[in-house]
Amino acid sequence: MSNLEIQWLGQAGFIYRFPQGIVVCIDPYLSYATSSGKTRERLMPVVVPPSQVCADIVVTTHDHTDHFDEHTLRPMAEQSETIFVGPSSCREHWRAMEMPAWRFVRLDRGESLDIAGIKLTALYAEHDSRDKRDAIGVLLEADGLRIYQVGDSEYAEPLLQAARDLRPDLLVVPFNGRFGNMNAREAALFTQAVQPRAVIPMHYGMFRNNNAHPQDFVDACRELRLATRVIIVKAGIRFQF
């Protein structure tokens, strides 16, 4: 089996380049759209201009600006034939942007799609999105690999029930403990329940008032004596999984 290439864009943004050439981008935030005062100041530089992100599929897990960002998605759509995917609230936002309806495919909880040789399944997430509770996690399946990116979510029983039997190769989980996300220990407990081969902690380092340190997640996994490999990634750097 060839390697999966992964690139972290910061916050919850990832690009996955599968061995057979399919490229999936999840939750890219590549602008300064949320910057307003010191608490919302972007701490991490934009690692790649959105117009240079060439993906077959872009998934937005919910309608918050650091996941569904007009200033990122518009230039991406203008430069490519990318198909955009996400829950109903994201599709409504897309239409409000007066973007072509056919470019955005709805994917709500419990639904699956097959696009360009990859299967996408929307899973439960415990997170509010502009007063609409339709935030999702997403399971990607291609080339014999299973990648589960949780999206934003609190630690909750419905989340555990939806994810317990997935056994993904890679789990990507938030751990910042603020604004509707689980904390480091909860993220470690969730990892223990899901039992992936490897886990990447995400959703930190972007905003001053919504930050965390990945070492806290590493320590929490050690306390639970997890056999899962913990991978700490650097923004913008491609690596092989």
Q: What is the mean pLDDT of residues 192-210?
A: 91
Q: Is the pLDDT at 187 greater than 80, yes or no?
A: yes
What integer pLDDT is reported at residue 98 of this predicted model? 96
pLDDT per residue as tens digits for the range 79-129: 888 999 999 999 999 999 999 999 999 999 999 999 999 999 999 999 975
- In DSSP terms, 121 is beta-bridged to 112, 139
- Report percent pLDDT > 70 for the chain: 95
Q: Is the pLDDT at 38 greater than 60, yes or no?
A: no
Q: How far apart are the first and last CA of the chain?
A: 11
What integer pLDDT is reported at residue 179 of this predicted model? 82
The count of other CB atoms within 10 Å of the CB of residue 221 is 23
Q: Which long-range contacts (CB under 8 A, 24 or more apart) does 154-161 make?
A: 154/126, 154/127, 154/180, 154/181, 154/182, 154/186, 155/126, 155/182, 155/183, 155/186, 155/187, 155/189, 155/190, 156/126, 158/124, 158/126, 159/124, 159/125, 159/126, 159/190, 160/190, 160/193, 161/124
Q: Is the pLDDT at 211 greater than 60, yes or no?
A: yes
What integer pLDDT is reported at residue 162 of this predicted model? 93
Alpha helices, H only, the chain? 70-78, 88-96, 157-163, 184-194, 214-223
- Report percent pLDDT > 90 for the chain: 83
What integer pLDDT is reported at residue 79 of this predicted model? 80
What integer pLDDT is reported at residue 170 of this predicted model? 98
User: Over the chain, what is the mean pLDDT?
Assistant: 93
Q: Is the pLDDT at 131 greater than 80, yes or no?
A: no
pLDDT band at residue 180 using 50, 70 and 90 as cut-offs: confident
Between residues 31 and 131, the one the model is more confident about: 31
pLDDT band at residue 178 using 50, 70 and 90 as cut-offs: confident
pLDDT per residue as tens digits for the range 221-241: 999 999 999 999 999 999 999
Q: What is the mean pLDDT of residues 53-68?
A: 95
